[in-house]
Chain A
Amino acid sequence: EIVLTQSPGTLSLSPGERATLSCRASQSVSSNYLAWYQQRPGQAPRLLIYGASSRATGIPDRFSGSGSGTDFTLTISRLEPEDFAVYYCQQYGSSRRTFGQGTKVEIK
């Protein structure tokens, strides 16, 4: 099973600032099948990025994904108030899909 480790656990930033979230895999993610999800309190997760760098439909271009192999990054270029949430990475390149433990982006 591929273990995904996200860092930092919590990111304290102000609106307008840039957020950089990391996701590291215990082994290479096949075909860069790595997705990012946003979860706001009381809501279901929402797909942001798939295939490491493709934005899902309707996702603003301030969200971008990068990386390959074992190291992946989600960047939010300028934080909007609605972006303060928990973010999860997920690998779907193996039959045992796994999630990272999440990074909380909170208002400083």
Chain B
Amino acid sequence: QVQLVQSGAEVKKPGASVKISCKTSGYSFTRDYLYWVRQAPGQGLEWMGVINPSTGYADYAQNFQGRLTMTRDTSTSTVHMELSSLKSDDTAIYYCAKGGDGSGLAYFQNWGQGTLVTVSS
């Protein structure tokens, strides 16, 4: 079965960077796009960006341009999300999600368990 397993919780100081991994299994890694979504405490869902695991091409939401980088490692079927210049309002649970149909415009069919990132001095 499809699984997305994310790395563990992180605590970072303002101005630092965080890198979260999402290891996938149970399907062909290069077939479906992978997305990142975050959720601040008590808030809704915010789409951050998408990566095509086949080509490595990534597209980011306007809010994160310039400080968000998504990469993939096809040898381990893993995608990474790095967010830099962290601020306190980046404190959130970060989710990876797998697209449903192999296209760049897809619903989010499977989700990782989430990674809590806390930004605090």
Contacts and interface: CB of A to CB of B under 8 A. Distances in A.
Interface of A: 1, 30, 33, 35, 37, 39, 44-47, 50-51, 56, 88, 90, 92-102
B44 A45 contact: no
- Chain A binding surface, main DSSP class: loop
B95 A45 contact: yes
A97 B50 CA distance: 10
23 contacts: A1-B62, A44-B95, A44-B114, A45-B45, A45-B95, A45-B108, A47-B107, A50-B100, A50-B107, A90-B47, A90-B108, A92-B105, A92-B106, A95-B105, A96-B61, A97-B47, A97-B50, A98-B47, A99-B44, A99-B45, A99-B46, A99-B47, A102-B44
Interface in B15-68: 35, 37, 44-47, 50, 59, 61-62
B89 to A, nearest CB: 17
Given A47-B100, A47-B108, A96 B45 contact: no
A55 B37 CA distance: 22
Given A46-B111, A95-B59, A100 B105 contact: no
A30 B107 CA distance: 13
Given A88-B45, A95-B59, A102-B44, A47 B109 contact: yes
Interface residues of B, number: 24
A1 B50 CA distance: 16
Among all A-B residue pairs, the 8 with the closest Cβ atoms: A50-B107, A35-B107, A44-B111, A99-B45, A97-B47, A102-B44, A101-B44, A92-B105
A93 B47 CA distance: 13
Given A45-B95, A46-B111, 8 more contacts: A33-B105, A45-B97, A47-B100, A47-B109, A51-B107, A92-B105, A93-B105, A99-B44
A30 B112 CA distance: 27
Nearest to A57: B109
